[in-house]
Structure 1
Amino acid sequence: MNSRKIQKGFWKRLAALAVMAVVCIGLYTASLVDRHPLMENEGREFVKARVIEVIEDNQQSGGVYIGDQTVELELLSGAHQGEHIQAQSSSAYLYGTHCTPNLKVVAIVSESDGELVGSVYGYYREPALLGMIALFLLTIILIGGRRGLYSVLGLAFTFLCIFWFFLPMVYRGYSPVIAAIAVVIATTLVTMYLVGGFTVKATASVLGTVMGVLVAGLLAYLFGKLARVSGYNVSDIESLIYIQEQLDIQVGQLMFAGILIAALGAVMDVSMSIASTLQELHDKNPQLDTRQLFRSGMTVGHDMMGTMSNTLILAFTGGSINTIVLFYAYGYSRMQLMNMYDIAIEIMQGISASMGVVLTVPFVSLIGAWMIVRAARKSSAGNGKTL
């Protein structure tokens, strides 16, 4: 009986993977947008290079770097691969890097009157970043086993939804909020059914997650109306307005779409945790009714509310820590701080996402308890527990 149940679950997950593959193909087709870069890059390319020699250094007495270095580079990629050029490298914080022989860098190369002109863009850090990502994914698979593999697949699908669906739809002029809702629903369905299988608890988690994220978005909209904060009050609005003038992107909705996507992870975590707990409790004690299961879910949710809300608040705070340090150092008054757009946006994002997490608890507890008890009654009449 158990082997038959395992086999049945395997084929259902295989079907989910097949559906995900078909959806990925559809997403890729939707991502084929004819983009026209707003910055002219003709005749210029970013290439991997190696520092051969530092021709002129910019190190002063005392170890201070002033001005630019002049270096000789060997181009390791691009149309001029294998050629050697002289380039300038700044020791600034954001661009350039202090070059030493054999250092791998990224160079900007352009051709002018048949002569190559180059400058060092920055340190070549792609291998380090890819290594970090690979270590993260490998850790999930080694510790989580088959479930970990399904989690990685769900994570990959999430990124595909964002880069192959959300961004192209926004670029084409569609509503960012509607596109974000579609991403939330698609990601939730694939992730929950991959990790939890086609079960009652997975279905309850899907419903609870979607409801929680939509509530977070609605609250953000209402808070924005009350505080008179919109998507046009963000710090980089000048650049976004320029993009809006060139394209049909609905800039005003981007902030609210971002809140929906940002809240998804935490809401999904709470939703699946409570649904799994309810299913486990009912499996251990099938005599529990809907009311008792609901109370158990609320009890578990009470402990999760504080930690998950803390996670979201700290995540938004950590993302703005540089700004917060500046405000603290300059000694801004409470009246000034509480009426700044930046502070209002951070509070609105953190509170609305946390409210989505908190309200997910009763949503999932009620839906999960009702569905689990209902499935158990059907099971006693000869039906299986899985959907």
Structure 2
Amino acid sequence: MNRPFFKRLIFILSVIILVAFCVQLNDVAKPQLVNTQGRAFERATVTEIVRDNLQENGSRIGDQIVRLRLEDGSMAEANCPNGLLFGTVCEPGMQVIVMASRAGELTSCTVYSYDRSKAVFGFILFFCLLLAVVGGRKGVKSVLALALTFACFLFFFFPLMMHGVAPIVAAVVTACLVLSLTVWLICGTTRKALAAGLASLGGVVAAGVSAELFGQAAHLSGYNVTNIESLLFVAQNTNIDVGGLLFAGILFASLGAVLDIAMDVSAAVTELHAANSQNDRKTLFMSGMHVGQDVMGTMAATLILAVFGGSLGAWVIDYVYDLPLLQLLNSNGLDIVLMQGLSGGIGVILTVPFAASASSWLLLRKGA
């Protein structure tokens, strides 16, 4: 049996085993946390404003009453709430999403929101096309890697937690799977890919350990988050350990940045080795460190700025209310944001020596 055929056979068998495992893993019974019997979300078109809520001063008070044409062609009247989170300002011809509640022959309709489906799918398609056009063949592989990453979260990570696996353990296993698929799709089965994968895994684990140590030192846990009441209700009705979700989220948040810098360092060391195969391991390691040092600062800043941007609303409130520094430094919200940013940054920083070491060692192994 020749070697390429043997590799393909191993790959096909691995895929079959993984798919079979995921099918079995997704055989979970989700508890019905809310009663959705008789309730459905449907697309509809506004045909008439029966009663508007526009006041003489330009403000809107109360609900609009609108007439809608549902997807099946039937007509219905619906309330349109005057809210910032639900409802919208309806106009004739507007496409909306309607929450229809049916009880026997009675149907009650409420406008849930403007129909954003076309905008969402349009921008996703534009993003994928742009990535494919600019990135070429590797761009197409990147699109596939993103799709598989989302599938790993949906069909692997969530079911693992539903079966009672600790979130941090499920996150590490899922991260390994995501890293393996992404690196394999982008770089194939090369030493560069293996080095980047190993370094990424080390950086992600370092971020998770740093977050755990930070949480213990600052007495922070997954029970200090803002939506803990809803999560506790989920925990009471499922096998999910909501206390570990915070640290699992930090691990996933650092995954992209860690993989990026690991690939940069591994690719640079690989190119240097290809240009001059006489370089020894120390030279390759130091070259990888120099490349990583140039990228490390901007990558850590990128990660921290992403965390900052995600909680910008909370920062603005704290700034406007002019809260004292002692209160800010000891607030759960701010400390969790700091933990997320600093832990991810530590993972990015440690990825540099991991990637330089793995690359220089793998490239100079016998048979390389």
List gaps (5 residues or longer) in structure 1. 1-7, 379-384
Distance 1:155 1:14, change over 3 A: farther
1:1-387 paired onto structure 2 within 5 Å: 19-20=14-15, 23-24=18-19, 26-76=21-71, 81-374=72-365, 377-378=366-367, 385=368
Contact 2:180 2:197 in 1 (8 A): yes
Distance 1:304 1:69, change over 3 A: same
Contact 2:31 2:237 in 1 (8 A): no
Distance 1:113 1:23, change over 3 A: closer
Distance 1:127 1:278, change over 3 A: same
User: Could you state the TM-score of these two structures normalised by the residue count of structure 2?
Assistant: 0.95
Tell me the CA shift for residue 19 of structure 1: 4.7
Which one is further off, 356-365 or 169-178? 169-178
Question: Letter of the aligned partner of 1:195 in structure 2?
Answer: I
C-alpha RMSD of the superposition: 1.9
SS of structure 1 residue aligned to 2:265: helix
Tell me the CA shift for residue 16 of structure 1: 5.6
Question: Letter of the aligned partner of 2:75 in structure 1?
Answer: H
Residue by residue over 1:351-382, the C-alpha shift from the partner in whole angstroms, topping out at 9 and shown as x without a partner, is: 011100000000110111111122xx52xxxx
Tell me the CA shift for residue 92 of structure 1: 1.1
List gaps (5 residues or longer) in structure 2. none
Question: Letter of the aligned partner of 1:67 in structure 2?
Answer: G
Tell me the CA shift for residue 216 of structure 1: 0.6
Question: Letter of the aligned partner of 1:259 in structure 2?
Answer: I
SS of structure 2 residue aligned to 1:268: helix
Contact 1:60 1:66 in 2 (8 A): yes
Tell me the CA shift for residue 28 of structure 1: 4.1
SS of structure 2 residue aligned to 1:38: coil
Q: Distance in 2 between matches of 1:74 and 1:29?
A: 42
Aligned residues: 365
Distance 1:167 1:201, change over 3 A: same
Tell me the CA shift for residue 113 of structure 1: 4.7
Q: Distance in 2 between matches of 1:28 and 1:129?
A: 29
Q: Distance in 1 between matches of 2:239 and 2:115?
A: 35
Tell me the CA shift for residue 33 of structure 1: 2.0
Tell me the CA shift for residue 261 of structure 1: 0.9
SS of structure 2 residue aligned to 1:194: helix
Question: Letter of the aligned partner of 1:246 in structure 2?
Answer: N
Contact 1:24 1:160 in 2 (8 A): no
Question: Letter of the aligned partner of 1:42 in structure 2?
Answer: Q
Contact 2:31 2:238 in 1 (8 A): no
Residue by residue over 1:150-171, the C-alpha shift from the partner in whole angstroms, topping out at 9 and shown as x without a partner, is: 1111111111110001111112
Contact 1:219 1:352 in 2 (8 A): yes
Question: Letter of the aligned partner of 1:47 in structure 2?
Answer: E
Q: Distance in 1 between matches of 2:110 and 2:116?
A: 17
SS of structure 2 residue aligned to 1:46: strand
User: Could you state the TM-score of these two structures normalised by the residue count of structure 1?
Assistant: 0.90
SS of structure 2 residue aligned to 1:41: coil
Distance 1:65 1:275, change over 3 A: same
Distance 1:15 1:102, change over 3 A: farther
Q: Distance in 2 between matches of 1:18 and 1:308?
A: 37
